[in-house]
Amino acid sequence: MSINKKEQFLSEMLIESFECQQKGEYDKAISILNKMIEIEPANSDAHHYLGLSYMQQHNFNKAISEMELAIRLSPNLDNYYNNLGLTYWKTKQREKSIECFRKGYKLNENNRFIHFNLTQVLFDAGQIEQSLSECYKYLEKYSYDYYVFFMLILIEYRLCRKDIVLPAAIEHQKRKNISVEKWLDSIPETDNKLLFTKGVLCILFKNIHEGIRLLKQSEKKLPGAGWIFTYKIITQINQNYSANIDLRIKEKNQFNAISGFNGIISMNDLGIIGRFGHEIYYYLGLKLYAKKHNYRLEVTDWLGRYLFEGCNDSFISGIYDTIDSGDPLFTKSIEGRCPPPKKKFNLRGGCFRMPQTVEDKNYLRKLLKLKLFWREKLDPCVANLRKHHKTLLTIHVRRGDYIKDGYYVPSSQLYLEWLATIWPSLDRPVLYIASDEAERVHVDFWKFNPFIGKYFGNIFLFDDFLTDFYIMSQSDILVIGTSSFSRIAALCNENYTGLYWTNPKNNRIEPLNN
């Protein structure tokens, strides 16, 4: 085969492999690329795109091996570094990922994707100030790309600052020489991140109603996103209840001294990862850890500050080295086998373990006691349920994103069969259904005349999840779902006579020792 024919043949094979990748036919693409390598072992493109195919299949070891080889063969192609950096990032090799993106950016400072990926992995690695610096550079260079404002919003949240997003937005709007309204209109609404970003910017420019509408649209596209949920609910609370003295947040405690403490532990992504139940899990783990080692806890402006009496900790006052919760030294320190890994550190990931002692349970319940303002709104609901009934039985039925994401979701029939066996033995029972899809689910239980939160009217001027949480915490018998939301409510319940769960292993409702 002549050189020209060989090159043409390889080019056609590469195009065919691209077409297979676009169709999701990765096995076929891999077969074609391997044949290319047999013909020309030093073909860097073949190795690079073979690595991409492996990455799409989550075969990351092979992906990294092929991409590293491609770079050795052709060390001056910026896209190679970008895709290897992404693969390192997916495997949580953050420092290697940062190094790759920096090398690729040095080769081509006009590669927008490398630059943006660099801002994201720096953020993920806890190098917040460096990420912020890159965001400003990116914004200056690519004024049409609004995704950078998404990054700025998360950075501002993690740093507990209020002087990043709005000044950048005002400067950007003035530079474009258009009105605020036209500037906001220019932000596309094509995905959940841009809807969220536009919503937050509307709120910062005092168009609260429009901002909340956009956040709700964003949440519909990604219902499990903690960053949307947290920002939306806190905005609604501040908008409607900020005048109430019981809900005022103490002034930010911005000092670096550790007077009276052995050190500082922070969690700067509390409120960004996970929704309400997960946020509380992360927080309680931090509180138990800080108590055990006499560390001061510093956290973000998360939702718990506004709801519970015991959650008014110091705000983030510094940027500390980030340690993963799976780090061996940290794990040993949880168990008390060694001191904390650093004097001051930021934790990534949760470390909550269900408390075993009465002392720890009482400590956590005290932290999670609802503020008086909320209890005064919710106690009449519980009283209404008990007006003509003795036993309050609540079932938490989780649907929504659990079905979409393929989690275990018990059927209504399972609960109905269980109710039929237990109901006759209860003293004047009343059934309450707690659910993210209560209006759709409760009709399945019509034989038991169930109550749902909507029956009590619009108690709160924000999306109501608190009614379900509080009623679960006050129930006599509680069947928790497979989410952290009802597990935390069960932890707050001091007086239940029966606690049950749906066991996914055998699809049965069984007693749970909490």
Q: Assign residue 44 the CATH number of its domain.
A: 1.25.40.10
Burial of 356 per CB tally in 10 Å (0-12, 13-18, 19+): exposed
Query: 387 is written with which tokens?
Result: 């007006």
Question: Is 406 contained in some domain?
Answer: yes
Residue 12 has pLDDT above 90, yes or no: no
The pLDDT value given to residue 10: 80
Tell me the backbone φ, ψ of residue 352, rounded to 5 degrees: -80, 135
Residue 346 has pLDDT above 70, yes or no: yes
Residue 46 has pLDDT above 60, yes or no: yes
Residue 231 has pLDDT above 90, yes or no: yes
Say which residue, 282 or 513, is predicted with more confidence: 282
The pLDDT value given to residue 488: 95
Query: 457 is written with which tokens?
Result: 């009217």
Q: Are 326 and 361 in the same domain?
A: yes
Question: Is 256 contained in some domain?
Answer: no
Residue 269 gets which letter from DSSP? T
Domain boundary residue, one of 328, 346, 367:
367
Residues contacting 118, CB < 8 A, separation 6+: 98, 101, 102, 105, 134
Q: Give the rounded percent of residues in the chain with a pLDDT score beyond 90.
A: 82
Question: Is 489 contained in some domain?
Answer: yes
The pLDDT value given to residue 259: 76
Residue 270 gets which letter from DSSP? B
The pLDDT value given to residue 363: 95
- Give the ranges where 205-275 is alpha helix by DSSP (H): 208-221, 226-241
Determine the average pLDDT of the residues in 311-320.
Answer: 93
Residue 455 gets which letter from DSSP? G
Domain boundary residue, one of 344, 367, 390:
367
Residue 404 has pLDDT above 70, yes or no: no
Question: Is 252 contained in some domain?
Answer: no
The 3-class secondary structure across 456-489, one letter per residue, is: HCCCCCCCCCHHHHHHHHCCCEEEECCCHHHHHH
Q: How many CB atoms lie within 10 A of CB 352?
A: 20
Confidence of residue 419 (pLDDT cuts 50, 70, 90): very high
Residue 125 has pLDDT above 50, yes or no: yes
Tell me the backbone φ, ψ of residue 477, rounded to 5 degrees: -125, 130
Confidence of residue 335 (pLDDT cuts 50, 70, 90): confident
CA atoms within a 13 Å half-sphere pointing along the CA-CB vector of 46: 20
382/370 Cα distance (integer angstroms): 14
Question: Is 247 contained in some domain?
Answer: no
**Which structural domain, as residue segments, surrounds residue 219?**
3-239
Confidence of residue 483 (pLDDT cuts 50, 70, 90): confident
Confidence of residue 252 (pLDDT cuts 50, 70, 90): very low
CATH number at residue 419: 3.40.50.11350
Q: How many CB atoms lie within 10 A of CB 259?
A: 6
The pLDDT value given to residue 254: 46
Q: Is 84 left (phi over 0), alpha (psi -120 to 50) or beta?
A: alpha
Q: Are 297 and 332 in the same domain?
A: yes
CA-closest candidate to residue 465, choices 219, 245, 250, 221 = 219
Determine the average pLDDT of the residues in 333-355.
Answer: 91
First to last CA, the chain: 73
In the chain, what are the helix, strand and coil shares in percent, each to the nearest 5?
A: 60, 10, 30
The pLDDT value given to residue 258: 66
Domain boundary residue, one of 196, 224, 239:
239
Confidence of residue 401 (pLDDT cuts 50, 70, 90): low
Q: Are 199 and 286 in the same domain?
A: no
Residue 245 has pLDDT above 60, yes or no: no
Q: Are 355 and 332 in the same domain?
A: yes
Q: Are 361 and 377 in the same domain?
A: no
Residue 435 gets which letter from DSSP? E
- pLDDT tens for 427-448 read 999 999 999 899 999 999 999 9
Residues contacting 144, CB < 8 A, separation 6+: none
208/235 Cα distance (integer angstroms): 8
Average pLDDT, the chain: 92
Query: 16 is written with which tokens?
Result: 């065919």
Confidence of residue 3 (pLDDT cuts 50, 70, 90): low
Q: Are 11 and 138 in the same domain?
A: yes
492/306 Cα distance (integer angstroms): 17
Q: What angle is formed at CA 278 by the lines to CA 359 and CA 401, rounded to 5 degrees? A: 145
Burial 329-342 (b: 16+ CB within 10 A, else e): ebeebbeeeeebbe
Question: Is 111 contained in some domain?
Answer: yes
- pLDDT tens for 76-94 read 999 999 999 999 999 999 9
Q: How many domains does the chain divide into?
A: 3
The pLDDT value given to residue 399: 80
Q: Are 355 and 378 in the same domain?
A: no
Residue 20 has pLDDT above 80, yes or no: yes
Q: Give the rounded percent of residues in the chain with a pLDDT score beyond 70.
A: 95
Residue 253 has pLDDT above 70, yes or no: no
Question: Is 64 contained in some domain?
Answer: yes
Secondary structure (3-state) at 110: coil
Q: Are 363 and 383 in the same domain?
A: no
Q: Are 362 and 473 in the same domain?
A: no
The pLDDT value given to residue 371: 95
In order of 198, 200, 226, 257, 401, the CA distances from 209 in angstroms are 12, 11, 20, 41, 25
pTM for this predicted structure: 0.91
- pLDDT tens for 178-188 read 999 999 999 99
CB distance 53 to 33 below 8 Å: yes
Residue 219 has pLDDT above 90, yes or no: yes
Question: Is 274 contained in some domain?
Answer: yes
The pLDDT value given to residue 286: 96
Q: Are 393 and 496 in the same domain?
A: yes
Q: Are 486 and 386 in the same domain?
A: yes
The pLDDT value given to residue 381: 97
Confidence of residue 144 (pLDDT cuts 50, 70, 90): very high
Bridge partners of 393, per DSSP, are: 431, 477
129/244 Cα distance (integer angstroms): 35
Q: Are 98 and 184 in the same domain?
A: yes
